[in-house]
């Protein structure tokens, strides 16, 4: 197989702010894998500086090293062989490359039509949350109004960047709008351990569905206490990063006993890794949902098709990020009344590829 790597800069429509910093753009690498017959598969490598476990500067270096390795290998003949090959070629410490190579090889294996897991995209109809980014009060309220007008029944707010009283005011106004609205919060580890339980107690009166990562990861005793005592269900996100062995994953779930897992294929090393998280979560009675990692529409397409393999999961997935960029790839992806769908005409833009 022949590998070509194309860097691409995605430009945000606004300054994307979390409690961990701001982004105005982000770099991704598109992987073009071609077999000896000329068929082509596309993948996307999309780590985020300071948020992903890998060193961003090492990603293009590793991708160059992959080229001669892939040149010696023929396309695997099954999904299982693809997952096995990727795990051998790419260390778990570079999860974004594992994800990108899995997607490229799965695409190539299935004919290079961007049908990574599904043969009929028109049947895909996935409930998703509307994401509200951090900003000043007016900016956040404008986003909320936009999402409600667009028909979202589940809203996810980033919290932890404004003062807590202002955030309470925003959440109250959202709850006052509708008692039925599903409200999720994502703190990205922003709350201090000495204040988190009191903050969660004050938030609880607004009937919050869940809160992601209320404190920074790697504080197991504190997180176990929070999962046990919080009246708001706790979802683990950053806490899962870098946990690769099955034994360590089981130990984490049994020790912390979270209510939800938030799973991001780019962060966890692709779909084989995420599938193991799902299997373990279901064994332990833990609910979960899939979320993008702000990939372009190319990566988002693969993640949504994977999510569609679990129709029994009724949680709202985090797949509404395709409209964040000025220069995202044109694709058949649609967001309609809070659902992820595809247009009947499956046209893809080749810009940047």
- Judged against a pLDDT cut of 60, whether residue 353 lies above it is answered with no
Q: Which of 114, 156, 158, 341 is catalytic?
A: 158
- Judged against a pLDDT cut of 70, whether residue 212 lies above it is answered with yes
158 is catalytic: yes
CA 213/CA 203 separation, integer angstroms: 15
Q: Are residues 177 and 125 in the same domain?
A: yes
Domain contains 349: no
Q: Are residues 271 and 332 in the same domain?
A: yes
Q: Are residues 91 and 212 in the same domain?
A: no
pTM of the model: 0.95
- Judged against a pLDDT cut of 70, whether residue 91 lies above it is answered with yes
What domain range is 326 assigned to?
121-342
User: What pLDDT, on the 0 to 100 scale, is given for residue 17?
Assistant: 72
Q: What is the CATH number of the domain that holds 26?
A: 3.30.390.10
DSSP state of 216: -
Domain contains 116: no
19 pLDDT band, cuts 50/70/90, is low
Q: Are residues 294 and 164 in the same domain?
A: yes
Domain contains 348: no
CA 222/CA 224 separation, integer angstroms: 5
Beta bridge partners of 122: none
Q: Are strands 182-186 and 154-158 parallel, antiparallel or unpaired?
A: parallel
Number of domains present in the structure of the chain: 2
What average pLDDT score do residues 166-176 get?
93
Q: Are strands 210-212 and 234-236 parallel, antiparallel or unpaired?
A: parallel
- pLDDT averaged over every residue in the chain: 93
CA 110/CA 350 separation, integer angstroms: 19
- Return the minimum-mean-pLDDT range out of 88-102, 171-185, 190-204, 336-350: 336-350
Question: Among residues of the chain, what percentage have pLDDT more than 70?
Answer: 98
User: What pLDDT, on the 0 to 100 scale, is given for residue 144?
Assistant: 92
Q: Are residues 73 and 135 in the same domain?
A: no
> Is residue 57 helix, strand or coil?
coil
Q: Residue 213: left (phi > 0), alpha (psi -120 to 50), or beta?
A: left
Q: Which of 264, 275, 341, 344 is catalytic?
A: 264
264 is catalytic: yes
What average pLDDT score do residues 67-83 get?
95
- Judged against a pLDDT cut of 70, whether residue 352 lies above it is answered with no
Domain contains 114: no
């Amino acid at each position: 197989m022949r590998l070509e790597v194309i860097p691409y800069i995605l430009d945000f429509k606004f300054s994307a702010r979390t409690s961990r910093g701001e982004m105005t753009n982000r770099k991704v690498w598109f992987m073009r894998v071609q077999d000896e017959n000329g068929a082509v598969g596309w993948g996307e490598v999309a780590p985020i500086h300071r948020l992903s476990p890998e060193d961003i500067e090492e990603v293009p270096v590793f991708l160059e090293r992959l080229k001669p390795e892939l040149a010696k290998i023929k396309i695997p003949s099954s999904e299982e062989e693809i997952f096995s090959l990727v795990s051998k070629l790419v260390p778990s410490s570079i999860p974004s490359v594992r994800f990108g190579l899995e997607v490229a090889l799965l695409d190539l294996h299935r004919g290079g039509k961007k049908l990574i897991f599904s043969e009929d995209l028109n049947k895909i109809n996935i409930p998703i949350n509307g994401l509200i980014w951090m900003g000043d009060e007016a900016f956040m309220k404008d986003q909320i109004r936009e999402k409600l007008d667009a028909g979202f029944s589940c809203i996810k707010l980033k919290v932890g960047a404004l003062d807590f009283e202002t955030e309470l005011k925003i959440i109250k106004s959202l709850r006052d709008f509708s008692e039925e609205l599903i409200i999720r919060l994502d703190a990205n580890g922003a709350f201090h351990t000495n204040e988190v339980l009191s903050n969660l107690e004050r938030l609880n009166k607004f009937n919050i569905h869940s809160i992601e990562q209320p404190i920074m990861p790697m504080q197991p005793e504190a997180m176990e206490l929070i999962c046990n005592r919080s009246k708001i269900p706790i979802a683990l996100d950053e806490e899962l990063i870098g946990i690769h062995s099955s034994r360590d994953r089981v130990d984490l779930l049994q020790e912390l006993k979270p209510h939800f897992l938030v799973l991001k294929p780019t962060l966890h090393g692709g779909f084989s890794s995420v599938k193991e998280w799902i299997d373990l979560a279901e064994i332990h009675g833990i609910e979960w949902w899939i979320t993008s990692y702000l990939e372009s529409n190319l990566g988002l397409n693969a993640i949504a098709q994977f999510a569609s393999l679990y129709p029994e999961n009724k949680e709202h997935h985090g797949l509404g990020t395709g409209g964040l960029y000025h220069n995202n790839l044109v694709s058949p992806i649609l967001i309609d009344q809070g659902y992820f769908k595809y247009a009947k005409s499956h046209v893809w833009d080749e810009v940047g590829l």
